Amino acid sequence: MKKIHINCDLGEGGEHDGQLMPLISACNIACGGHAGTLETMQHTVDLAMENGVEIGAHPSYPDKENFGRISIPMESEELKRSLVAQIMSLKQIAEAEGAVLTHVKPHGALYNDAFNNVEVAKIIIDSVLEFGNDLVLYVAEGSVISELAKGKLEIRYEAFADRNYNPDGSLVNRKETGAVITQKEEVFNHLLSMISEQKITPQKGQKFDTFATTFCLHGDTPNSVEILEYLHRELPAKNIEIFKA
């Protein structure tokens, strides 16, 4: 049985974190930038520990008003201070609970900007390196940040089970129709292509290669629990199961 790694963005104020946590391999916890408080961080860490789920930080532009989904012009040092503070908050909470912070995954516009913006990518890498080089950085394949991080941090290539792609490997803007995939059968087929064929089918254009080793399903996708339960039921028929530590 082939095991796959599913990550999910949690601690963002959603109602279903408790239902999602048993269904995933890793969680990326909002740490105060786009969402999250000290209380929600601690609660989500506790849920992760109860379910044997890897714990990661999900830092963002400091912009709760827009849920971190628009680019915010910031001075380099100001952005770095914010990212370091966000990661530190979660790291301290995790360690106080006896857990280990395993990875960092930028959120929203910060993640998208790091796809092709050298300055933003460098700031993220420098922020993570403030904690040494033990944290794994989740990145998109073909991104500027993935190239700049090589040799500095361990990277894990990520693909999105519930998002549509552009031909260059970037994500379709959430403002466009069809950016988020909500039908469970479509998510299944999208994911299966990535796993079995190592191909991503963009919204327009030709398929392209993927070598992702973690696959994201967003916790704020309205029917995320239904989708994950469906994947757990249907993937074993393809000799695939979702990894649990």
In this predicted model, what pLDDT tens digit does every residue of 202-215 receive, in sequence order?
988 899 999 999 99
Residues 6+ apart with CB under 8 A from 245: 25, 52, 53, 54
In this predicted model, what pLDDT tens digit does every residue of 130-178 receive, in sequence order?
999 999 999 999 999 999 999 999 999 999 999 999 998 889 989 899 9
Residue 191 identity (one-letter amino acid): L
pTM over 0.85: yes
Contact 14, 225 (CB under 8 A): no
- The domain at 2-161+211-217 falls in which architecture? Alpha-Beta Barrel (3.20)
> What is the distance between the alpha carbons of residues 170 and 174, in angstroms, rounded to a whole number?
12
Domains of the chain: which residue ranges?
A: 2-161+211-217
Contact 33, 71 (CB under 8 A): no
